[in-house]
């Protein structure tokens, strides 16, 4: 059994906000972490070639561009992004958001 305390994990500063990797298995097929996007900031478009991504909004509001479509989600909402689909998170609000993400193949 392993126990993780997110407040003790290293935070990585990003141009758009910050991220913390909570867990990654040895095969790197599963990754779990937290990210926050600062107000008026955006990630770059990216995709995961061999994994799907599940994102749950823990606090604030988060917007996403997924395969050229935009969607905004609030606290308690989630989105599942299939592998090989271009996507990014962005924040058009005045408050930083907080999201939990899980990247893993669902097949």
Is residue 77 within 8 Å of residue 54, measured between CB atoms? no
The answer to whether 46 and 85 are in contact (CB under 8 A) is no
Give the number of other Cβ atoms within 10 Å of residue 51's Cβ.
Answer: 20
pLDDT digits (tens, 9 = 90+) for 16-44: 999 999 988 877 789 999 999 999 999 99
Q: Which domains does the chain have, with CATH numbers?
A: 35-102 (2.60.120.10)
Rounded CA-CA distance 71/67 in Å is: 11
Percent helix, strand and coil across the chain, each rounded to 5? 5, 50, 45
Tens-place pLDDT, residues 59-107: 999 999 999 999 999 999 999 999 999 999 999 999 999 999 999 988 7
Whether residue 45 is predicted with pLDDT greater than 90 in this model: the reply is yes
């Amino acid at each position: 059994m392993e126990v993780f305390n997110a407040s003790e994990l290293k935070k990585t500063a990003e141009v758009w906000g910050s991220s913390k990797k909570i867990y990654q298995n040895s095969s790197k097929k599963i990754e779990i972490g937290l990210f926050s996007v600062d107000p008026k900031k955006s990630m770059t478009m990216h995709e995961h070639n061999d994994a799907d991504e599940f994102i749950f909004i823990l606090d604030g509001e988060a917007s996403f561009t997924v395969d050229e479509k935009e969607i905004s989600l609030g606290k308690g909402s989630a989105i599942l992004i299939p592998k090989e689909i271009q996507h990014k998170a962005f924040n058009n609000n005045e408050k930083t958001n907080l999201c939990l993400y899980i990247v893993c193949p669902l097949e």
